[in-house]
Amino acid sequence: MARRVGIYTRISRDDEGEALGVARQQQDCERLADLRSWQAVKVYEDNDVSAFKRNVVREEFELMLKDLRAGLIDGIVAYDLDRLARQPRDLERLIEIYDERPRLEFATVTNDINIGTPDGRTMARIMVAFANKSSHDASRRIQRKHLELAQQGKDSGGPAPYGWQKDDRTKVDPEAAKAIREAQREILAGVRIGTIRTRWQEQGLGNPRAGTKRMAHHHVEHILTNPRLVGYRTYHGEILYGEDGQPVRGEWEPINTLDEWEAVCAAIAERKQKHPGKMLARKYLLSGIARCGLCKTKIRGQVNQKWQPGSKAARFTYQCSVVNGGCGKVGRVGDPVDKLIAQLVLEEQRARAAVTEVPFDQRWPKDAELEQVNEDIAQLVEAERSKQITVATLLQLLPAKERERDELKLERARFYKEQKQAEAKGEARNMTVDEFLALPVERQQEIVLHSLSAVIIHPAGRGRRKFDPSLIEPVWR
Ligand SMILES: [Zn+2]
Confidence of residue 19 (pLDDT cuts 50, 70, 90): very low
User: Distance between CA 146 and CA 149 in Å, rounded?
Assistant: 5
Q: How much distance in Å is there from the Cα of 322 to the middle of ligand 1? A: 8
User: What integer pLDDT is reported at residue 278 of this predicted model?
Assistant: 41
User: What integer pLDDT is reported at residue 277 of this predicted model?
Assistant: 43
The residues placing their C-beta within 5 Å of ligand 1, an ion, are: 292, 294-295, 320, 326-327, 330
The pLDDT mean for the chain works out to 82
Confidence of residue 13 (pLDDT cuts 50, 70, 90): low
User: What integer pLDDT is reported at residue 275 of this predicted model?
Assistant: 58
Contacts 24+ apart (CB under 8 A), 423-430: 423/188, 423/358, 423/360, 424/185, 424/186, 424/188, 424/189, 425/189, 425/190, 425/450, 426/353, 426/358, 426/360, 427/189, 428/346, 428/349, 429/346, 429/349, 429/350, 429/353, 430/350
Q: Which of 14-28, 81-95, 181-195, 406-420 has the highest mean pLDDT?
A: 181-195
Confidence of residue 316 (pLDDT cuts 50, 70, 90): confident
Domains of the chain: 4-151 (3.40.50.1390), 174-274 (3.90.1750.20)
Q: How much distance in Å is there from the Cα of 298 to the middle of ligand 1? A: 8
Rounded mean pLDDT, 276-285 = 58
Q: How much distance in Å is there from the Cα of 288 to the middle of ligand 1? A: 13
User: Distance between CA 171 and CA 323 in Å, rounded?
Assistant: 56
| Cβ proximity of 39 and 72 under 8 Å | no
Beta bridge partners of 235: 238
User: What integer pLDDT is reported at residue 166 of this predicted model?
Assistant: 85
pLDDT score of 17 more than 50: no
Rounded mean pLDDT, 135-145 = 61
Confidence of residue 324 (pLDDT cuts 50, 70, 90): confident
How many C-beta atoms surround the C-beta of residue 439 within 10 A? 20
pLDDT score of 16 more than 50: no
Rounded mean pLDDT, 142-153 = 70
User: What integer pLDDT is reported at residue 18 of this predicted model?
Assistant: 41
User: What integer pLDDT is reported at residue 460 of this predicted model?
Assistant: 86
Confidence of residue 280 (pLDDT cuts 50, 70, 90): very low
Confidence of residue 279 (pLDDT cuts 50, 70, 90): very low
pLDDT score of 288 more than 90: no
| Cβ proximity of 79 and 109 under 8 Å | yes
User: Distance between CA 9 and CA 276 in Å, rounded?
Assistant: 25
pLDDT score of 438 more than 90: no
What confidence tens digit (pLDDT) does each residue in 165-207 have? 988 889 999 999 999 999 999 888 888 888 999 889 888 888 7
Helix 193-203 × helix 217-225 angle, to 10°: 100
Q: How much distance in Å is there from the Cα of 49 to the middle of ligand 1? A: 51
Q: How much distance in Å is there from the Cα of 291 to the middle of ligand 1? A: 8
User: Distance between CA 343 and CA 433 in Å, rounded?
Assistant: 6
Q: How much distance in Å is there from the Cα of 299 to the middle of ligand 1? A: 8
**Comparison of pLDDT for 45 and 209, the residue scoring more:** 45
Percent of the chain with pLDDT over 70: 84
**Comparison of pLDDT for 50 and 8, the residue scoring more:** 8
Rounded mean pLDDT, 126-134 = 70
Q: How much distance in Å is there from the Cα of 327 to the middle of ligand 1? A: 4
What confidence tens digit (pLDDT) does each residue in 346-356 have? 998 888 776 65
User: What integer pLDDT is reported at residue 20 of this predicted model?
Assistant: 43
| Cβ proximity of 376 and 415 under 8 Å | no
Radius of gyration (C-alpha) of the chain in whole angstroms = 28
What confidence tens digit (pLDDT) does each residue in 204-228 have? 888 755 555 677 788 888 899 998 9
Q: How much distance in Å is there from the Cα of 221 to the middle of ligand 1? A: 40
Q: How much distance in Å is there from the Cα of 279 to the middle of ligand 1? A: 26
